Amino acid sequence: MEKENIMNKTIYNFASKIEIIQTIIIGLIAFLAPTFLAQLIKAIFGAESIITANSQLIVGSIVNTAFIICAINIKDWKKIVGVITMPSISTVVSGTIFGTASIYMIYMIPAIWLGNFTLIYAYKMILLGKNKNYFLARNNRNFNKSSCDFWKF
């Protein structure tokens, strides 16, 4: 019962239509960032640039920011799961990370989804459930996601 209460809490109480629009925008950012941003960075800075070599850091930061905005503003866990699934599906479809071997990433997708859900759930639990401050929630969710990812692989 406590899980449902935490997943239904938000910082601000948005109307239903605004929350749907917000979910769509966050989902699009989470989907389009891995698909187009890495290619855009490569086109702007060139293939040999240090920025291009580390574009996953930029894309990952944008996607994790979308997850945190989702954790703060979206209530329904079904909408949250929709946002969680977008980046990994986008990465497999576009072949951003592994190129032609991206099809093998399909085996890692459930573990990635679980790690993303852990990130959002830990953030909601600490910030909204326990009413702790932002920095504690941020540091704890980073630890939880990292330990979840390393435990699975």
Q: What is the pLDDT of residue 4?
A: 57
Q: What is the pLDDT of residue 71?
A: 83
Q: Which helix (H) or strand (E) holds 72?
A: helix 55-73
Q: Which residue is associated with the tokens 């997708």? A: 109
Give the Cβ contact number of residue 13 at 10 Å: 9
Q: What is the pLDDT of residue 58?
A: 81
Question: pLDDT in tens for each of the 153 residues of the chain?
Answer: 455 567 777 776 666 778 888 888 888 888 888 888 877 877 887 767 776 666 777 888 888 888 888 888 888 788 888 899 988 888 888 776 666 666 777 788 888 888 888 888 888 877 776 666 666 666 666 666 666 556 655
pTM: 0.74
- Do 74 and 22 contact (CB within 8 A), yes or no? yes
Q: What is the pLDDT of residue 149?
A: 59
List the one residue out of 91, 86, 116 whose CA is nearest residue 101. 91
- Alpha-carbon distance of 77 to 14, in angstroms, equals 15
- Alpha-carbon distance of 28 to 24, in angstroms, equals 6
Lookup: tokens for 5:
């209460």
- Alpha-carbon distance of 38 to 80, in angstroms, equals 24
